A and B are shown apart, each in its own frame.
Chain A
Amino acid sequence: EADIYQTPRYLVIGTGKKITLECSQTMGHDKMYWYQQDPGMELHLIHYSYGVNSTEKGDLSSESTVSRIRTEHFPLTLESARPSHTSQYLCASSAGTATNEKLFFGSGTQLSVL
């Protein structure tokens, strides 16, 4: 049902490498989000965007960057991957108002940094 796509689905990479996690949605949503989730834990907001050329930092943003050049595309970049970045990364988009909003999630990228 959801038209939000994340690639890659799985990624194993060495320490120090630069990586970009891709997220695209075809629903025309203005709001997009990146979350990090460790097993059995809650989601933590990394970055979010409320539209083209608008990006904001969340709680865990210090070691990553995002861009929003097009409505449909919201890539997340880790400049220098570390083992502590090993986690699941979830991209989401939403549409609607503060009292009537639906969230859509991608399938996630499971990142392992060796």
Chain B
Amino acid sequence: KNEVEQSPQNLTAQEGEFITINCSYSVGISALHWLQQHPGGGIVSLFMLSSGKKKHGRLIATINIQEKHSSLHITASHPRDSAVYICAVIQDSNYQLIWGAGTKLIIKP
């Protein structure tokens, strides 16, 4: 079992829908990253959070440290949101990053 699990693996939705991507982890962490990877490989950091909630535009990230779970939400989704969304945690024992496999999101117009 991977230490960082994302769900769903693939998600297809219509433009305008509210999107939720989940990340569960089994190790102690100091913080968690959400990143976006577009076709062609470029990866962009979206959020880093260690507690609570962060919001940037239509993106919202939440984390529950006790439940070892984080969610990434996209409101009013748009085709340009189509990408792979990756969760990565910073292990608190050695500060190493552990990566999830990513969630491939497709937003249809």
Q: Is A43's CB within 8 Å of the partner chain B?
A: yes
Residues of A within 8 Å of B97, CB to CB, are 33, 45
B57 at the interface (CB under 8 A from A): no
User: Which B69-109 residues have a C-beta within 8 angstroms of A?
Assistant: 86, 88, 90, 92, 95-97, 99-102, 104
> Chain A nearest CB: distance from B50 CB in Å?
5
Given contacts A98-B95, A99-B30, contact A42 B102 (CB under 8 A): yes
* A36 CB, nearest partner CB in chain B, Å: 11
Q: Which residues of B (25-75) have their CB < 8 Å from a CB of A? A: 30-31, 33, 35, 40-45, 48, 50
Which residues on B sit within 8 Å (CB–CB) of A42?
Answer: 86, 99-102
Expressed in whole angstroms, the minimum distance between the Cβ of A98 and any Cβ of chain B is: 4
CA distance A110 to B39 in the complex (A): 13
The docked-state distance in angstroms from the alpha carbon of A98 to that of B90 is 7
* Tally of chain B residues near chain A (CB < 8 A): 24
Given contacts A41-B101, A42-B99, A42-B102, are A104 and B45 in contact (CB under 8 A)? yes
B82 to chain A, nearest CB (A): 15
Residues of B within 8 A of A90 (CB): 41, 43
Q: A2-B44, A101-B48 are in contact. List 7 more A-B contacts (CB 8 A).
A: A40-B104, A90-B41, A98-B30, A98-B92, A102-B45, A102-B48, A107-B42
